[in-house]
Structure 1
Amino acid sequence: MAFFAIGKNLVIFLTAELHETNVDAARNVSTWIGSCFLTPVIGAFLADTYWGRYKTIVIFLLIYTIGMLILTVSASLPLIVDVSSNSGIRRVAVYLGLYLIALGTGGIKPCTSALGADQFDGADPVERATKGSFFNWYYFSVNIGSLLSGTVLVWVQEDIGWGVGFAVPMVLMVSGLAVFVAGRKVYRYKKLGGSPLTRVAQVVVAAVRNYRVVLPEDTSGIDHSRQFRFFDKASIVAPSTGEKDTAAATSPWRLCTASQVEELKMLLRMLPVWASMVLFFAATAQMSSTLIEQGAVMDNRVGPFTIPPASLATFDVISVMVCIPVYDAVLVPLARRATGRDRGLSQLQRIGVGLALSAVGMAYAALVEARRLALARARMPAMNIMWQAPAFAVLGAGEVFASIGILEFFYDESPDGMKSLGNAFAQLAIAAGSYLNSAVLGAVAATTARGGEPGWIPENLNQGHLDYFFWMMAALSLMNLAQFAYCSIRYRGKTIC
């Protein structure tokens, strides 16, 4: 809830309180969200190598809470002192709090779902089947927090005050930490498997050092896959010329086990799937940036109520919360009868459906913006904000398929000692998508606002062409779907996907 309480309305906070431009605010939000999904690599490394998942979660929750405290105080400063002469200090405090939160997120996101999945015994057929539903309901519970943030807390922030709106999730964060620690004696814990990044690095270094080694033509006696054969050189003993060379040859940085080599190959095989998710998350990043800015210039009155633009993201959450039970109770049994798989759709099929829905959501947003612009330029009444709801709902449905699918995919396909790291790679796709969105926004602003032209995304959106931007994202999403289909057909993993 704390993450969504900040992220959903951050673009409004930055424009209204820190007086940032539309493009700067959208880029800063995307960069911050990207950082929140980049730091999980740090948390995953510490969890898999040194601390374990439980200890990592506790430590990073404390860092997160400190960041929330700083953000809450900085948001409350206008109630205490005149900040007009100290706006620079306030800006520093806001971003310090935000990036401490981003760091704290790093130990939570990759470890909570992995720790939850650890509670299921993979050797038990019943528990193994139940684990597939766990990821669905884990994502469902996350979206309960998102729903409350997008309705109650967004209203508190805009109608009562930003300080109170940030203080409430901070208190809930402390309460959640207490509840989590209270259950420490009943959790199942996995043994640490050493540094996964070190094992991967050893294979790369050993293969490069042994690049002159000729691979044997007959490899039937070696348990390894046929892809990326260059890395098989890491498990081949190089000819030695003396006692010193023999000792060096046994170094893990010159000679690795076949299982180590296969771990690296597993990660490399997953890269094309990971890359496909980057553009998907760049599209869904519009829900916290350009779609919010679009809603800010629409008629936000619905009957007697005034709807904050960020609250439209509630339709994303409602879509997720409706689609997950329907997927679990209706679609999976139907697909199971058709495919014979326990999970119904394969993980890659599930991701593909989500990628297609992201293209549909962007195309719909473009149509809405084109109509909104036509009305604004004809000086007719503004388009109602509820026309945005289907875009959020379609993108939310896409998340049910793609976001949950990628979590399952990376947990199941990652080597056994890299489960947290696998989840971190899934989160890293969100980070890369957010950074890509930030870069694309900057490039669009730089290339379209030339020669006195306002560009596609000016301060006054009525003078721009945000619809062109949405059409561009829809086209990129379709191309992304095509390359994903090609890669998924060729994919060969450690499980049948």
Structure 2
Amino acid sequence: MEGIDDKYTKDGTTDIRGNPALKKNTGKWRACPYILANECCERLAYYGMSTNLVNYMKIRLNQGNATAANNVTNWSGTCYIMPLVGAFIADAYWGRYWTIASFMIVYIFGLTLLTMTASVKGLKASCHGGVCDPTNAQTAVVFVALYLIALGTGGIKPCVSSFGADQFDDSDESEKRSKSSFFNWFYFSINVGALIAASVLVWIQMNVGWGWGFGIPAVAMAIAVVSFFLGSRLYRHQKPGGSPLTRIAQVIIASFRKCRVEMPADKSLLYEITDKESAIEGSRKLDHTEEFRCLDKAAVVAQEDQTKAVNPWRLCTVTQVEELKSIVRLLPIWASGIIFSTVYSQMSTMFVLQGNTLDPHMGPHFEIPSASLSIFDTISVLVWVPIYDKLIVPAARRITGNDRGFTQLTRMGIGLLISIFSMIAAGILEVVRLRLVARDNLYDSKDPIPISIFWQIPQYFIIGAAEVFTFIGQLEFFYDQAPDAMRSLCSALSLTTVALGNYLSTLLVTIVTHITTTNGRLGWIPDNLNRGHLDYFYWLLAILSLLNFFVYLIIAKWYTYKKTL
């Protein structure tokens, strides 16, 4: 007979009404189709609008290559910084469900405004003879729309993957294994949306019109909202645990106040409440670890703590201290993902600009837009996810004895190594392209270089393979290693590597442009790439990626995984 403890989840999750979640009626794979469909439609909307954005900047806003590329990477970077805001709100106050629901409304408003800038007279830039002349006000409205979208993504990106993972109870071994598989299929659904965006929507933008090209993503986002709400009765919810920043500040201040207090030899004497659950809402207790011992002083019970009511700014529980330790341990791993994200960001900037110079013909009557080549990154992910989940993991599990096949750190490291080869492939293609330019004196030719754009496929395909290892590994790693009440925030932290990768790309382009254009030179990345050296930029990224990989090996060897009681 099933005991009462077996009827409910043991990770503190509740149903939509706030009651303990029944295992039989909530969560697991039955709740995931609504979340995965929501993510698929949301990503279709995002990539449908962003994949070709660099060309929109060039064509409709009349911007040069470097300016357009930097505007896209700055905006994209903001899309991955804003999740820190949404994650804080979700973990501290609203919970993941209501945060996602609220920010989706902002997202739809931004997409609607962007569609209007491409289709409504007065908001749309006037164009004559293929040259557009936007007013400052029209340009400003475009950027207002884009940054509203960035704000909207802030409440969705860090919460959806964590909310999906919340549907599986860590204390149940079968559900725990399903959770690991969920991250693979979550990323798969992202790329289904990206596939439609890169293949259909980019073509519509370049051949039908930007109004339709942006309007369809707005409709897709509306479908995402409907899908999300349809699954409401099936979802499991983690309770918000209060401000994580306040808890972090309390540990730092309490440990500083007690910097001269002597640590007890017996670590079991450190302060922890005796209740089964921790003092933090929605969180399990964490076991004491030996690193960063200076922080342990926040949990030392001093003489005055015994005679007064507990003041959290003077005395913190072991679990609260271990929360901060978990974050500190994550930071080096987090930093190692920035260079990878810089490489990834080239797909929406330099790869597109490089593709603009190549022959786009597919047969005598059809031309493929350069931004649509990202479809091969997506296809790569869609191919590699099932291979990884169904073939590589079982094979690796037999060899390593690890339930996941590879450890999360090993998985991410493999992706970092693979990404180096994408830059090498892009650099080799650029060398071949420039040699053809020099051989046939095509420096100022307005026509595409007679090299098929499909020679870009290897660099896209390799990045897709690297994503399956690194980005999915990051999703799972930051969720798994985060304290229970800080999972949205840690998911957002992993996303900020994409933001900083975009910002680093902008910085590198700016520095390279400044240095290489001295004394009247055109530089590596001029508006006419036939007179530039984009290959040098790719070699620079390959070298940085290799150095980053070696640093990562040192960091991964040092890292210790968290332990719950």
Whether these two folds match at TM > 0.5 is yes
Q: Aligned in 2, Cα 1:75/1:318: closer, same or farther, shift over 3 Å?
A: same
- 1:229 match: 293
Inter-partner Cα distance in structure 2 for 1:424 and 1:369:
35
Contact 1:285–1:437 under 8 Å retained in 2:
yes
Whether 1:415 and 2:457 are equivalent positions in the alignment is: no
Contact 2:420–2:546 under 8 Å retained in 1:
yes
Out of 119, 123, 128, the residue aligned to residue 167 of structure 2 is 119
- 2:83 match: 40
Inter-partner Cα distance in structure 1 for 2:348 and 2:300:
50
Q: Deviations over 1:49-82 (max 9, x none)?
A: 1111111111000000000011110112469866
Contact 2:49–2:217 under 8 Å retained in 1:
no
Alignment of 1:162-201 (within 5 A): 162-201=210-249
Whether 1:14 and 2:69 are equivalent positions in the alignment is: no
Q: Deviation of residue 216 (structure 1)?
A: 4.0
Q: Deviation of residue 158 (structure 1)?
A: 0.7
Q: Deviation of residue 23 (structure 1)?
A: 0.8
Inter-partner Cα distance in structure 2 for 1:490 and 1:293:
40
What secondary structure sits across from 1:383 in the alignment?
Answer: strand
Q: Aligned in 2, Cα 1:160/1:78: closer, same or farther, shift over 3 Å?
A: farther
For 1:54, the aligned partner's letter is Y
Inter-partner Cα distance in structure 1 for 2:134 and 2:415:
46
Contact 1:333–1:344 under 8 Å retained in 2:
yes
For 2:385, the aligned partner's letter is I
What secondary structure sits across from 1:451 in the alignment?
Answer: helix
Inter-partner Cα distance in structure 1 for 2:316 and 2:170:
27
Q: Aligned in 2, Cα 1:152/1:85: closer, same or farther, shift over 3 Å?
A: closer
- 2:463 match: 395
The alignment's TM-score, normalised by the length of structure 2, stands at 0.84
Inter-partner Cα distance in structure 2 for 1:226 and 1:151:
52
Inter-partner Cα distance in structure 1 for 2:487 and 2:379:
30
Inter-partner Cα distance in structure 1 for 2:138 and 2:116:
10
Whether 1:107 and 2:155 are equivalent positions in the alignment is: yes
Q: Deviation of residue 217 (structure 1)?
A: 5.0
Inter-partner Cα distance in structure 1 for 2:145 and 2:337:
28
Q: Deviations over 1:290-317 (max 9, x none)?
A: 1111101111112232010000000000
Inter-partner Cα distance in structure 2 for 1:201 and 1:9:
42
What secondary structure sits across from 1:378 in the alignment?
Answer: helix
Whether 1:25 and 2:73 are equivalent positions in the alignment is: no
- 2:20 match: none
For 1:340, the aligned partner's letter is G
Q: Deviation of residue 218 (structure 1)?
A: 5.2
Q: Which one is further off, 324-333 or 227-236?
A: 227-236
Inter-partner Cα distance in structure 1 for 2:77 and 2:474:
17
- 2:191 match: 143
Q: Which one is further off, 289-298 or 196-205?
A: 196-205
- 2:45 match: 2
Inter-partner Cα distance in structure 1 for 2:548 and 2:141:
39
Quick one: percent identity of the two aligned structures?
A: 47
Out of 459, 468, 474, the residue aligned to residue 527 of structure 2 is 459
Inter-partner Cα distance in structure 1 for 2:241 and 2:416:
34
Contact 2:48–2:202 under 8 Å retained in 1:
yes
Out of 530, 537, 540, the residue aligned to residue 472 of structure 1 is 540
Contact 2:99–2:155 under 8 Å retained in 1:
yes
Contact 2:288–2:318 under 8 Å retained in 1:
yes
What secondary structure sits across from 1:442 in the alignment?
Answer: helix
For 2:160, the aligned partner's letter is T
Whether 1:75 and 2:118 are equivalent positions in the alignment is: yes
Contact 2:96–2:159 under 8 Å retained in 1:
yes
- 2:255 match: 207
What secondary structure sits across from 1:455 in the alignment?
Answer: coil
Q: Deviation of residue 321 (structure 1)?
A: 0.1
What secondary structure sits across from 2:236 in the alignment?
Answer: coil
Inter-partner Cα distance in structure 1 for 2:100 and 2:136:
33
Contact 1:66–1:100 under 8 Å retained in 2:
yes
Equivalences, count:
492
Inter-partner Cα distance in structure 1 for 2:476 and 2:92:
22
Q: Which one is further off, 204-213 or 173-182?
A: 204-213
Out of 410, 413, 423, the residue aligned to residue 349 of structure 1 is 410
What secondary structure sits across from 1:375 in the alignment?
Answer: helix
- 2:450 match: 382
Whether 1:261 and 2:329 are equivalent positions in the alignment is: no
Inter-partner Cα distance in structure 1 for 2:52 and 2:134:
23
- 1:275 match: 335
What secondary structure sits across from 1:185 in the alignment?
Answer: helix
For 2:509, the aligned partner's letter is L
Whether 1:449 and 2:517 are equivalent positions in the alignment is: yes
Inter-partner Cα distance in structure 2 for 1:293 and 1:160:
21
What secondary structure sits across from 1:213 in the alignment?
Answer: coil
Q: Deviation of residue 251 (structure 1)?
A: 2.3
Inter-partner Cα distance in structure 1 for 2:260 and 2:117:
59
Contact 2:93–2:241 under 8 Å retained in 1:
no
Contact 1:412–1:495 under 8 Å retained in 2:
no
Whether 1:49 and 2:92 are equivalent positions in the alignment is: yes
The alignment's TM-score, normalised by the length of structure 1, stands at 0.95
Alignment of 1:146-161 (within 5 A): 146-161=194-209
- 2:107 match: 64
For 2:393, the aligned partner's letter is V
Q: Deviation of residue 246 (structure 1)?
A: 6.6
Q: Deviations over 1:255-279 (max 9, x none)?
A: 2111111110011111111111111
Inter-partner Cα distance in structure 2 for 1:495 and 1:252:
23
Contact 1:354–1:402 under 8 Å retained in 2:
yes
Q: Aligned in 2, Cα 1:85/1:309: closer, same or farther, shift over 3 Å?
A: closer
Whether 1:298 and 2:358 are equivalent positions in the alignment is: yes
Inter-partner Cα distance in structure 2 for 1:239 and 1:20:
67
Whether 1:493 and 2:561 are equivalent positions in the alignment is: yes
Q: Deviation of residue 204 (structure 1)?
A: 1.5
Inter-partner Cα distance in structure 1 for 2:262 and 2:542:
47
Q: Deviations over 1:307-337 (max 9, x none)?
A: 1000000000000000000001110111000
The root-mean-square deviation of aligned C-alpha atoms, in Å, is 1.9
Q: Deviation of residue 253 (structure 1)?
A: 1.8
What secondary structure sits across from 1:382 in the alignment?
Answer: strand
Inter-partner Cα distance in structure 2 for 1:447 and 1:198:
44
More helix by share: 1
Q: Deviation of residue 387 (structure 1)?
A: 0.8
- 2:493 match: 425
For 1:19, the aligned partner's letter is N
Q: Aligned in 2, Cα 1:387/1:233: closer, same or farther, shift over 3 Å?
A: same
Inter-partner Cα distance in structure 2 for 1:310 and 1:80:
25
- 2:376 match: 315
Inter-partner Cα distance in structure 2 for 1:402 and 1:357:
9
For 2:523, the aligned partner's letter is G
Q: Which one is further off, 145-154 or 47-56?
A: 47-56
